[in-house]
Chains A and B, each alone.
Chain A
Amino acid sequence: MSLRLGAMLPEVFRHLFKRPATVLYPFERNTVPRGLRGRPVMDPDKCIGCRMCERDCPAEAIEIKQESEATMPDGKVKKRYSMTLYLDRCAHCAQCEEICPAKPDKAVKLNEYFEEAAFDRGALKIVYK
């Protein structure tokens, strides 16, 4: 293959007439794909209190606490749990969602929200109850 000076120039000139490859975030946004691993969200109505998410979380970002205990008219004991999520530690691995055994719907799920930056660390402590 012979050497050719300015081999890149045709490509460079072609790009003068193309639109930019980048977008002007935050004024313009790319759409995120379906199934993006964003923020974990817990639904206390569905939680069965097995603490599997707390046990498996590799970042130790989840705390499950029992909030209340009530005896139902049919004699069954209904317990309600809360989840404290330390989002500053969360690695967004989705292991909590994967391991959650609640049926028919999982109690912990990751949404597609990705703009997690905050000035205050306290804002990243989220309690679901």
Chain B
Amino acid sequence: MSETFVLPVGPQHPALKEPTSFRFKVDGEYIIDADLRLGYNHRGMEKGCEARTYVQDIYLLERVCGICSNAHMTCFAQGVERLMGIEPPPRGLFIRCLMGELERIHSHLLWLGVAGHEIGFDTFFMYTWRDREVVMDLLEMVSGNRVNYGMQTFGGVRRDLDGTQIKTLLEGIAALKARTPYYLNLGATEPTMVARIKGVGLLPKQKAIELNTAGPTARASGVDFDVRKDDPYAGFGDLIPFTIVTDDGCDVLARVVVRAKEMMASYDIMEFILKNLPAGEIRTKAPRRVPEGETVSRVEAQRGECIHYIRANGTDKPDRVKVRAPTLANWPATLYMLRGAFLADIPIIMAAIDPCLSCTDRMAVISDCRGNEKVWDWETLRQHGIDFHRRRGIRP
């Protein structure tokens, strides 16, 4: 007769360097059931947005995520632009798309490295991260910063591209384009890697649709959904051609393949953008006050569909901002993938959705064991944070 017991994993360091907590019901090496607890990394950003002006919010929301910073910034900027009733000029839209694709390359290369590291293939990790430096340098050259690029603003983008930059970008993209098929082939031919990821973390197409998965996780299960194609934003749709990448493997190997092929698609998009960059202004003037109204803005971030809901009350501060990061959409599918898997596959199955936990964590109402509920306003939350650190001897 088999005996099961519950194994807690996390919240400190549950395979990735971010806090989340799992409860695994295990029978020997097999996971029978998995449960997830979020909420360890709440930062009060949505509430913080309400106390700041739109211009300040764009930089705050950029910092929702270190990897998808441009996606969040774009999502918020285009939502507010819709409320303001302004449209960026074509050159601004092209540079907006270019930044999104550069960020996608950097994120996918980072993920390939992390996936290699999680399965103990650190050589792969070293090589992908070395090549990632090429795209990081390009991002730094275009925006002036390696992370948190600060390129998007209401009515367009903040920096223009000159001839030298376009030339350097094309050279960098060509170098990466020559390099990426190597990783794709390696993922499919290196026996140790294939043995470790093939058939692991299975998510059938029907389940992927039922559990509302987003991004490369969904596309690796054969779901051909991509915001860039299904709800085109910025220059996508009429101006910039785009092909969707899917795979029917439904396992971690398929997620590696989808991401590698998506990078190849991104290189083509970027080359098209740089060779067909329209002349003219990069931004239009935006008002400081936003007319009353509400909107939902969607962007295809590297990890999936990123949604921002913005409600304006006619002042220079938003009434409500809600951020739905793609990781939240992928958690139910992760739990499904973990059930029936081996204990040793937890890190790679978790890493395969490319989770970003601090982007996902939300908390507005705190209830104690007696059922009392208390809504924390921004000032109370801030004071709580200061007191919390002071009690631990950290000077605020």
Interface residues of A (CB under 8 A from B): 1-5, 7-8, 11-12, 21, 32-33, 35-37, 55-59, 91-95, 98-99, 110
Check B190 against A58 for contact (C-beta < 8 Å).
no
Query: What are some 13 contacts across the A-B interface (CB < 8 A)?
Result: A2-B189, A3-B191, A3-B194, A7-B189, A11-B182, A32-B140, A35-B159, A36-B140, A56-B53, A56-B56, A58-B59, A58-B60, A98-B158
Q: Does B55 contact A (CB under 8 A)?
A: yes
One of B20-28, B84-92, B143-151, B322-330 contacting the partner: B143-151
A8 touching B59, Cβ below 8 Å: no
| Complex CA–CA separation, A56 to B137 (angstroms) | 28
Complex contact A21–B133 (CB within 8 A): yes
In the bound assembly, the distance between CA atoms of A57 and B158 in angstroms comes to: 16
> Which of A5, A8, A36, A59 counts the most B-chain CB atoms under 10 A from its CB?
A8
Tell me which of A3, A21, A35, A56 contacts B144 (CB under 8 A): A35
Q: Using Cβ atoms and an 8 Å threshold, which residues of chain A touch B390?
A: none
Q: Which residue of B52, B150, B190 is within 8 Å of A93 (Cβ)?
A: B150
Nearest to B58 among chain A residues (CB) is: A58
Indicate if the CB atoms of B145 and A7 lie closer than 8 Å: no
Give the chain B neighbours of A2 by CB distance below 8 A: 189
Write the chain B residue with the least CB distance to A2. Answer: B189
Q: Which of A8, A55, A94 contacts B190 (CB 8 A)?
A: A8
Contacts of A94 in B (CB 8 A): 144, 150, 158
B76 is an interface residue with CB less than 8 A from chain A: no
- Looking at the assembled complex, report how far the CB atom of A23 sits from the nearest CB atom of chain B, in whole angstroms: 11
Given contacts A7-B185, A12-B123, A58-B59, 4 further A-B contacts (CB under 8 A): A1-B189, A8-B186, A94-B158, A98-B158
Q: How far is the CB of B45 from chain A (nearest CB, A)?
A: 12
Quick check: is B167 within 8 A (CB to CB) of the other chain? no
How many chain B residues touch A (CB < 8 A): the figure is 31
Known contacts A21-B130, A37-B145, A37-B150; is-contact A7 B56 (Cβ 8 Å): no
Q: Report whether B189 and A92 are in contact in the complex, using a CB–CB cutoff of 8 Å.
A: no
Let me know if B94 is at the binding interface, CB within 8 A. no
A37 contacts which chain B residues (CB < 8 A)? Answer: 144-145, 150
B124, CB-defined interface residue at 8 Å: yes
B7 contacts the other chain (CB 8 A) = no
| Minimum CB–CB distance for A92 against chain B, Å | 7
Q: A57 — nearest CB in chain B belongs to which residue?
A: B56
Check: B272 CB closer than 8 A to any chain A CB: no
Q: Does B242 sit within 8 A of A, measured CB to CB?
A: no
Using known A-B contacts A35-B159, A58-B59, A95-B55, determine if residue A4 contacts B144 with beta carbons closer than 8 Å: no
B5 at the interface (CB under 8 A from A): no
B186 touches which of A7, A36, A58, A93 (Cβ 8 Å) = A7
In this complex, which of B57, B123, B124, B145 has the most chain A Cβ atoms within 10 angstroms of its Cβ? Answer: B145
> B141: CB under 8 A from chain A?
yes
Which of B55, B185, B188, B194 is the one whose CB lies under 8 Å from A56? Answer: B55
Contact partners of B388 in chain A: CB under 8 A: none
Which 8 residue pairs across A and B have the least CB separation, nearest first? A58-B59, A58-B56, A37-B144, A33-B141, A3-B191, A7-B190, A21-B130, A93-B59
Q: Report A109 CB to chain B, min CB distance, Å.
A: 12
In the complex the two chains form, is A8's CB within 8 Å of B124's CB? yes
Min CB–CB distance B268 → chain A (angstroms): 23
- Complex Cα distance, B144 from A110, in Å, reads 10
Task: Say whether B60 contacts A1, CB under 8 Å.
Answer: no
